[in-house]
Chains A and B, each alone.
Chain A
C-alpha cells in the first residue's frame, strides 16, 4: 500500500505510556423537561495512545453514540449535563469553549457517522468539501489541494475520482458517500478518528471494502481509532482493545484475543453465544439472552443486567458492581464466568 494520503510524516507510534486521549469518568445525563433525569453514559473511562485501535460494542441504546458525541463536543447544549474529563494531550476538552472545540474537531479529532449524508454538505460538490478541509487544516492553497483531494478519493476506493470531485453527495451511493466522508475526515490528518457504526447501513461486501480502507489508513498514518459498532464480528478483526457497554456502562474491557476466546462478563458471554456465526455448526441451537433491556435494573442499586443474567447471585440485585481490574481484563460483575483455561 502506498501512503499517498499523508504528505507529511505519519504520526509516530509512541511506546510511551502517555495517552493521547484519556476519558475519565465520563457521564452524560439527559434532563428531559418534566421527566426523570436519564443517565445515558455512566462513568466511562478509557485511554487511547497514538496508533491504538479501540472498539466500543454494545446493543442499541447502550450509550455508544452519546459517548462519542460527548468526546467530540457535539451534544446539544440544552438539557444535557456532561461531567468527567476528556483529556486530549493533557487538556480537558469539556472545558473548552464551543469555538475552541470547533477548531479541534476535524483538525485533531475526526469523526465518521453511520449516515454520511448528515455530515456532508448537500449543496457543495464532494471535491470542494475535501479541498476545504485541506485548505483549512493543512494550510494548502486551493491549487495545491485539488490534486491531493483527487488522490484521496482514489485512495479510499472511489472510482473515476476526477469525475466524482464534481459530484454532489446525493449523486453517490451510500458506500461511496461513506468513502468520501472518510477521505474528508482523514484529509486533516486527525490524530484520533472516531467511527460510529460507519458500515452498519452498508452491504457486507461494501462493509468489507470500507473496513479494509480504514484499516490501511490507520496503519499508514498512525491515527488512533475508536470503532463503535454493535457487530462483534467487526471489532474481532480490527481493534486492539474492546470495551463492551451495557446500559451506559462499560461492563468488560479486554484485548480482543482474550475477550473473544474467553468472555467473562455474562453479558459478553451471552452475546457471543446468541449470535449465529457463519462458521458455526448449523445444528446447534442458539442460546438467547432472555428478556430485553426493558427488564434492566437501575445501576445505582444493582447490576442492570441481573434480570437477564445466566448466573446472578443475591448481591447482583442489591449492590452496584464496580469495574474491577482482573488479570487480563476489567470486569463489572459480582459473579463472572469461570476461567476455564
Chain B
C-alpha cells in the first residue's frame, strides 16, 4: 500500500464487501527510449504516479482531468490492459495480474470497455450481428442459435436500436447509434464493470444526452458498475456518484459528486470548476474565474513536491515545492470522510487564512526530459479486450 492514502484498515474492511475495484499505489511509467541500435531509456513518462482508488459495486465513479493527466492510462491499468509498473488492482477481491488462462479469461468477461471513438473501435467489415456475437462466442455465451438470436434482440432493444440493425455495418449508422453499438457489444458478455473512456466526447451535443441517459438506464437495469473517464466536468458530475479529479498522474481530490461541486477544496479543482462555461449568461456574468497561468507541466518531468505548485494561486513558501501532499480527509467541520484532498493547505485555504496570489506563468518545455514528442502525444487506444 502506498502512503498516499489515509483510509485505515478498519475502514477498508467495512467497505470491503461492496468494493468491486480496489487499486492500491498504482503507478504506470512509460519508458522514453532513444538510440538507433540500442534502445536506451533516457527517462520516463510518469503517466500514473501513485493512485489509490476504490470503486463500489453499483456506483459510477468519474475520473476527470485535463488532457495528459493520466485518466485513460489509469482506466487501462484498472483493466490490466496496461500492467502497472507498481501497485496492485484487485477486482472482486482478486489481483488480476496474478491470474492466467481460463480464470483470467473469465475475469476479463466481467470488465468491458466503451471507447471514445465508436468508429475507430468497431471493425468496419463486420456486421453488427457479427460484432455482437464475437464476444459472446469467445465467452461461451452463444450456446445455440435460438438462444443467441434472442440475446441479440434483447441487447439491441436495451440500447434502443431496431433489430434491423443486425445486418448493417458500422458506417451505416450515425455517431450516436455507433456508440450504442459499442455499448451493446460491451453488454453482450454480461459484465459487472464497464470502463467508459470519453463515451460521449466525440458525439454531437444534441446526441450526447441520449447516450448518457442510456448508460444510466442500463446501470439500473443490469446493476452495472461504471468507471467513466472524461474531461468534461459537467458530464462527469451529471453521471457520477463519486468523482476523482486527476492532475499529472495523481488524484488531487476525491468526493461525492454533489460535495465536490458544493465545496471544491483543492486549488486545482477550484480552478477547474470555475473555468467550465455554463450556458447561462446570468451565471457567467457574475462568476469569479480562477484563471490558471501557463500549461500543464510535462508528465515526463513533473514538478517536485505538490505537482500543482507551479500553477497554484495559493502556493506557499514552505512545503508546496518540497513535500508531496498526501490524499487525506481535511479537518474542516462538515466535510465527511469521503472527501479527500491532496493539498498541504486545504484547511487554511478554505478558512480564508491563506489568500490566492498572482502566479507568474512558467515555461513548460514541450519535449519533457528530452523525450520524443511523438512519445508524449496522447496515446491511441485501439486494443479491445
Contacts and interface: CB of A to CB of B under 8 A. Distances in A.
Contacts of A173: 295, 364, 366
Q: Is the interface of B mostly helix, strand, loop or mixed?
A: helix
Contacts of B238: 276, 280, 282, 286
Nearest to A207: B275
Interface in B215-236: 216, 231, 233-235
Interface residues of A, number: 53
B119 to A, nearest CB: 14
Given A208-B275, A278-B273, A203 B208 contact: no
Interface in A255-298: 256-257, 260-261, 270-272, 274-280, 282, 285-290, 292-294
A236 B204 CA distance: 19
A205 interface: yes
Interface in B252-266: 257-258, 261
A208 B361 CA distance: 15
Contacts of A261: 281-282
Contact of B279 (A160, A171, A277, A290): A277
A232 B234 CA distance: 13
Contact of B234 (A157, A277, A290): A277
Contact of A292 (B207, B212, B281, B364): B207
Contacts of B277: 204, 207, 211, 231, 233-234, 236-237
B118 interface: no
Interface string A197-237: 00000011111110110000000000000000011111011
Contacts of B213: 285-286, 288
Interface in A168-211: 170-173, 175-176, 203-209, 211
Chain B, interface size category, equals 35 or more
Contacts of B271: 205
B276 A204 contact: yes
A59 interface: yes
Interface string A148-162: 000000000101100
A260 B241 CA distance: 28
Nearest to A172: B366
11 contacts: A205-B66, A207-B277, A231-B277, A233-B277, A260-B281, A260-B282, A276-B238, A280-B238, A288-B208, A289-B209, A293-B204
Interface of B: 66-67, 174-177, 204-210, 212-213, 216, 231, 233-235, 237-239, 257-258, 261, 271-285, 287, 289, 291-296, 360-364, 366-367, 373
